[in-house]
Copies of this chain bind each other. A is one copy, B any other.
Amino acid sequence: VIWENIYPRGFPFHGAALRLGKAHRMARNATSSTIHDVARAAGVSIATVSKAVNNKGRMRPVTRARVHRIAQELGFRPNDLALSLRRRRSFTVGLLSNDIYGRFALPILGGVEEALAARCTSVFLCNAADDRDIEARHLASLLRKRVDGLVFTARRADSEFPAERTTPRIPIVHVNLEPRLDGPALLADDRGGARLGTAHLAALGRTRIAHVSGPQGFRAVRLRHAGYRDALAQAGLTDAGALFGDWSEAWGWEAVDRLFTARHGATHPDAIFCGSDQIARGVIDALRHLGITVPAQVAIVGFDNWEVLAAGARPALTTVDPCLKALGIRAGETLMGMIDGTPEPSGECLLPCRLTVRASCGGAA
C-alpha cells in the first residue's frame, strides 16, 4: 500500500510518498483529523471550529450546525494534549502504590477510579513494587506528565511510603496510609471497627470473648486490639485472652488449638473476635474439625469482609467491613475538590467501618 502524506506538516517525512505497512502507520499514531481539517472542509477558520464544537461564543446557528456535521463526518476528536498544554490542567491524576497486587489496594483503586471518572479525569496506575528506584521513576514521570494531583496508597497503613520526602506542588491525598507528605489522609477506622465487632458479640450475650490477631508490629493489629478492649470495657467484660500470630489460616487453627485443646475446664471462650478474615476462616474450620459448633458454642467475628473467605466459610462469616471502596471514592472526591481549589487540612481522617452480618454469630442483622 502506498500512503501519501500521512505525516502532517512539520513531520520529518512530510510530503514523501512512503511504502508502509499498517503496523508502521499505526505506530505513528495515525494522525487523526485536526481542527484545521475541519476548518478547511467547512470553509471557516479554526477559531470558528473551536467555538462551534465547544458550543461557545456566538455565531450563526447554520454555521455551527455545518461545522458540527463536518466534524462528525471527519471523526474529529479534539486532542487533549493540546488542550492540557493551554489549560495547564491535564485532567489526569496519578495513583501510586507500593503494592498494586495486594488484595486491599484493589477496592481502593476501583473507588478512586470511579470517583475520578465521574469528574472526567483519568488515572495513571503506578506500582512501585516496594522498589525505591521504580517509585522515583514513576513519580518523576507523573510530574512530567503534569498530573493534576496524586494519590498514594500502600499495603500497610504504616508503610514507609512514599520514600520521597519532597512534596510536589500539586494536591495529594493518602488512602489507608499514614501521611508522609503534605495533604490529607483517609483511613479506615480500625479501632472503631474492632469496637463494632466486639460489641456485637457482647450484645449477643457472649461474655468470654477472646481475640486472635496478626503481628503486633502492624498498626492495624494494635488499633484493632485497642478497639476490642474498648468494647470489652464498655460492656463490663474482662479480657478472655488476646493471641497474636500471623495473617494466615494456619495461625487460626493453631490459636484454636491453644484456646480449646491445650486448656481445659469451663474457661473456654464463647466467642472470638478475629483480626482478619483469613484468621477467622482458620478458626472456624478448626472448630468444626474439633466438633465445636459455630455459632452455638462459639461465635466468631472477622475483619476485612474479604468476600471469598467470608461468604465461603461454614457458617458464613460475620465480619467488619473497612469499606475500602468507599474510602477510595471519598479520596477521589477529596482530591478533585483540592484540584478545584477547596483547601483541605493535612492529617488523618478516619472513616467508619461497617459490620456485615452473616451466620457465624447466630444473631440476625
Contacts and interface: CB of A to CB of B under 8 A. Distances in A.
Interface of A: 8, 11, 21-32, 77-82, 84-85, 88-90, 92, 95, 100-101, 103, 106-107, 109-110, 113-114, 117, 120, 122-127, 129, 134, 137-138, 140-146, 148, 169-171, 248-250, 253, 278, 281-282, 285, 288-289, 306, 308-309, 312, 314, 338-344
Copies in the complex: 2
Given A23-B343, A28-B88, A308-B308, A113 B126 contact: yes
A32 B142 CA distance: 14
Contact of A127 (B89, B113, B249, B338): B113
A287 B341 CA distance: 60
B308 A285 contact: no
A109 B125 contact: yes
Contacts of A250: 312
Contacts of A249: 312
A79 B89 contact: no
A30 B127 contact: no
A281 B314 CA distance: 12
A75 to B, nearest CB: 9
Nearest to A169: B30
A344 B344 CA distance: 49
A195 to B, nearest CB: 27
Which 10 pairs, one residue from A and one from B, show the smallest C-beta to C-beta distance?
A30-B169, A23-B343, A249-B312, A27-B341, A125-B125, A80-B144, A81-B85, A80-B145, A24-B341, A122-B124
A308 to B, nearest CB: 7
Given A126-B122, A281-B312, A113 B100 contact: yes
B85 A82 contact: yes
B338 A169 contact: no
Nearest to A105: B106
Nearest to A341: B27
A92 B344 CA distance: 30
6 contacts: A23-B171, A27-B341, A113-B127, A123-B125, A288-B289, A306-B308
Contacts of A106: 100-101, 106
B285 A314 contact: yes
B278 A312 contact: yes
B169 A32 contact: yes
Given A84-B81, A122-B141, A124-B122, A129 B114 contact: yes
